[in-house]
Amino acid sequence: MAPACVVLDRTVAFRDHPAEAEPLGEEAPGVVGGNIAARSRYKYLRAMKPDLQVVDPPGVSCLTMVRPHISDPIPQYGRYLDIGFVAAAHESLVVIHAGSSYSGWYLVVDLASSSPRSSTIPSIAYVDYGSYKPAGFGIVITALQGGAFILAKLLFRFRRPTEGLSSGKLYLWESLRSSWAYKVADLPAQVCHAWRVHRSFPVESRNLLCWVDLLHGLLLWDLDEVVQSDVHMSFVPLPRNFCEEYDQQRLPNQEDFRTMACVDGNIKFVAMDGFVEGTPISLVTYTLHLYGPSPSWTKDAVLRLDDLWADETYISMGLPRITPLFPILSTQEHDVVYLVIPSDVERVEGFRVRRVLFLLSVDTRKTMVISATQQNLPRTLMSSRHLIAFDAASQLGSKYHQRAVEAIGMGPSGKKIKLMTSATESCEVEALDDQSPLRCDM
């Protein structure tokens, strides 16, 4: 049975068909030029097949794309691509970006289809950006009925306060129309030149598109307004005490200690209070209420780090008393947060590297560890920033191979402990065997 939530590595390796005896050289047959090349490239990308290796969270699932066999009667334009990056995911839809930032392509893969369907979408031409530019993870996809979808990309034009409001340019690709369209609107006054998109996701229950800056707040765009008329963007600040003015030159990366996601139809925010200040750390979760005259945050739970370290299950697992990093919200289970336990700094070929020792799943309301794993980890600590959680499980069923099995043990107090062990090799080992790059830092 597939897990309720899938934590996916954003890096997607493109590998050769397993029936090919040797990797193809740089010169591939069937390469053509001009507009024919673009059409051939789209056909090639659509012919690739997804291979999703699912593990129970907090373990990291791995997606690779298998190239068509060299004997397939399609031009082999696109075989030079060896890596992609998951730009967005929603339900069974995964958006993979391949190529350069300004001249690549989006490959939308429906993982739940009995025969996985793929759609290719050209990137927005750089000349069309004009004075607008991206500011992080600006892609959102939302699934519609009948297998249709809408892909949205938000660009920004920041102005100085004396020059008026900044503006946003929202590009929309509707699968039923197969074309880009855009709308422009003024941004709320709180969105300034320091804005950065750390998270983006749809809120299907309210038909909203959401872009999050983990230092300032979130932008909401009503999809009904976007499609039917002029657009109006609303801004919601972070909960009180989390919007302070920090010295951004000295502030750690916000994703190290904060995150936001749509959890079972509700927008939730989690932060490690005290992380920046150097005071005792607590994991604090909030829910955003969108009903009523104005949005408001409600505190859900507070998990003190000292209480987590004192948990019998934590102690029984022999987990180190190390400050966790990179909280990830489960998109299906309320109060469940995944955490990364880092290693000490190591020297690897002259470079300072920190790895991941454990991945944890904790219940913030019950103040307990649910599970821990040393399998299917991010390759390095910093690559933990490039993980995405989405609620694909109900769509996938048992179609994809689940690579982890549960081992249930008993703690000294008779309390059940769920440890994760690997049924096969980890996806990082496979990627190394394929000689494929493992990361795509942005």
Q: Give the pLDDT confidence of 267-298 residue by residue, as tens digits.
A: 999 999 999 888 999 999 999 999 878 899 99
Q: What confidence score (pLDDT) does residue 226 get?
A: 67
Instruction: Give domain status of residue 415, yes or no.
Output: yes
State the amino acid at position 249 in one-letter form: Q
pLDDT band at 414 (very low <50, low <70, confident <90, very high): very low
Q: Give the mean model confidence (pLDDT) for residues 412-426.
A: 35
pLDDT band at 306 (very low <50, low <70, confident <90, very high): very high
Contacts of 298 (CB under 8 A, 6+ apart): 286, 287, 289
Q: What confidence score (pLDDT) does residue 441 get?
A: 33
Range of the domain at 401: 6-433
What six digits make up the tokens of 187?
A: 């941004």
Tally of domains within the chain: 1
Q: What confidence score (pLDDT) does residue 12 get?
A: 94
Instruction: Give domain status of residue 289, yes or no.
Output: yes
Instruction: Give domain status of residue 95, yes or no.
Output: yes
pLDDT digit string, tens, across residues 124-162: 877 778 889 888 888 999 988 888 899 999 999 988 777
pLDDT digit string, tens, across residues 197-251: 999 999 988 899 999 999 999 999 988 876 666 677 899 999 987 876 555 556 7
Point out the least confidently predicted range of 41-45, 136-140, 237-241, 370-374: 41-45
d(CA 173, CA 209): 14
Instruction: Give domain status of residue 1, yes or no.
Output: no
CATH number assigned to the domain comprising residue 96: 2.130.10
Q: Element (H or E) spanning 182, and its range? A: strand 179-186
Instruction: Give domain status of residue 223, yes or no.
Output: yes
pTM: 0.83
Q: Give the mean model confidence (pLDDT) for residues 21-26.
A: 49
Instruction: Give domain status of residue 427, yes or no.
Output: yes
Q: What confidence score (pLDDT) does residue 396 get?
A: 65
Give the Å distances, CA to CA, from 98 to 14, 95, 341, 383.
10, 10, 31, 18
Are 111 and 38 in contact by the 8 Å Cβ rule? The answer is no
What six digits make up the tokens of 295?
A: 């949005």
d(CA 107, CA 81): 13
Give the ranges where 75-234 is alpha helix by DSSP (H).
Answer: 126-129, 223-228
**DSSP label at residue 4:** S
Closest CA to 392 of 57, 14, 13: 57
Q: Element (H or E) spanning 69, and its range? A: none
Instruction: Give domain status of residue 329, yes or no.
Output: yes
